Amino acid sequence: MTKLLLRALAGETLPTPPIWMMRQAGRYLPEYRATRAQAGDFLSLCYTPDLAAEVTLQPIRRFGFDAAILFADILLVPQALGADLWFATGEGPRLSTVASAEDVARLKSADQIHDRLGPVYETVRILSRELPRETALIGFAGAPWTVATYMIAGRGTPDQGPAHALKDRDRATFAALIDRITEATILYLSAQIDAGAEVVKLFDSWAGSLKGRDFDDFAVAPARRIIEALKQRHPHVPVIAFPREAGDRYIGFARATGADCVALDNSVSAEWAASHVQVDGCVQGNLDPRHMVAGGPELVAEAQRITRAFRGGPHIFNLGHGITPDADPDNVAAMIEAVRSA
């Protein structure tokens, strides 16, 4: 029996969708907080394979999700390319910045990333041994634009202003940075697949701030290049693309990039996406994460509305973005029950 997640990704319409959640291993779970305290800081948790595998498995044990996602972070790639990275408590990530052609030239070459990322591949190997037979293992990376926004600004930014400024001032330098991240991402995801990842996901969390030609050049083109290279090496490994807040640019995104599935954020309605995006194949999403905090009848109604809207084609149930630290684990169980009884 093939795993439910892989069946949906192969284009099968299922009576009940497979279920997992972005950030399912995270601070809303007391067992995650305990393991993170044991590791010390967040990056040590990412780079300690036994502990990273442990937190990946925690939500699988508690909820029996159909997929586990490798515990790591999209910012490990810039660090492997030579950026300094640290997490200021309560403030999010901080990185040394890339602002000029010289800064891009100083980055390591893509094939040097493995020197630093070995522990991540080891986490994948542990997980592919320890996961239940029915649970699929998802590897991931940040998409080049989203990773570049952090490398250029040195932090998260509400409007990605510094990255847009570099792109508009010096498109060649910006494109060279995108190319370097693209090459590193191909090698990184390929190594995760070699270690046992069965599906990979590209997180383009800030795709929504790219418009017009910029969206084509820096969201579509790098995703297409990464997916083409992966398909050459690993033709049977499905790819989920998440161009978050792409709006009407979700239409045709799978066809334009070769992705097997498009993940939807909660700013688009499931009914709209069923007729405009799911027509091209599998979709993932898209419950508003705030329902995992509030719970109650609204959570049940929304989870069931989404499940029913996507019932006519391949669908993976997920949130529209990551579950937040203030979510109640009991609401996760209620969500799963609602989807399965829709």
Residues catalogued as catalytic: 23, 27, 36, 73, 150
Task: Using alpha carbons only, give the angle 176, 177, 182 rounded to the nearest 5 degrees.
Answer: 95
| Closest-approach residue to ligand CP3 (CB) | 205
204 phi/psi in degrees, rounded to 5: -110, 75
Residue 93 touches ligand CP3, criterion: CB under 6 A = yes
- Which of 26/238 has CB closer to ligand CP3? 26
- Which of 35/173 has CB closer to ligand CP3? 35
Q: Is 232 labelled as part of a ligand binding site?
A: no
- Which of 72/270 has CB closer to ligand CP3? 72
> What is the DSSP code (8-state) at residue 243?
E
Q: Which range in 17-25, 125-133, 188-196, 220-228 contacts ligand CP3 by CB under 6 A?
A: 17-25
Residue 282 touches ligand CP3, criterion: CB under 6 A = no
Q: Is 164 labelled as part of a ligand binding site?
A: no
Residue pair 276/251 in contact by the 8 Å Cβ criterion: yes
Q: Which range in 20-28, 216-224, 255-263, 287-295 contacts ligand CP3 by CB under 6 A?
A: 20-28
Spatial CB neighbours of 74, under 8 Å, sequence gap ≥ 6: 140, 141, 142, 146, 147, 150, 203
In angstroms, what is the minimal distance from the CB of 15 to ligand CP3?
Answer: 26
104 phi/psi in degrees, rounded to 5: -65, -45
Go through the chain and tell me how many residues it has. Answer: 342
Say how far apart CA 122 and CA 192 lie, in whole Å: 9
Q: Is 150 labelled as part of a ligand binding site?
A: yes
Q: Is 209 labelled as part of a ligand binding site?
A: no
Q: Is 73 labelled as part of a ligand binding site?
A: yes
Residue pair 15/313 in contact by the 8 Å Cβ criterion: no
β-pair partners for 239? 200
Residue 203 touches ligand CP3, criterion: CB under 6 A = yes
Taking residues 154 to 173 in sequence order and writing x for each that binds ligand CP3 by CB under 6 A, - otherwise, the string is --x-----------------
Residue 25 touches ligand CP3, criterion: CB under 6 A = yes
* Closest listed residue to residue 271, CA positions, set 240, 313, 222: 313
Say how far apart CA 67 and CA 208 lie, in whole Å: 26
Candidates 57, 75, 77, 339; binder of ligand CP3 (CB under 6 A) is: 75
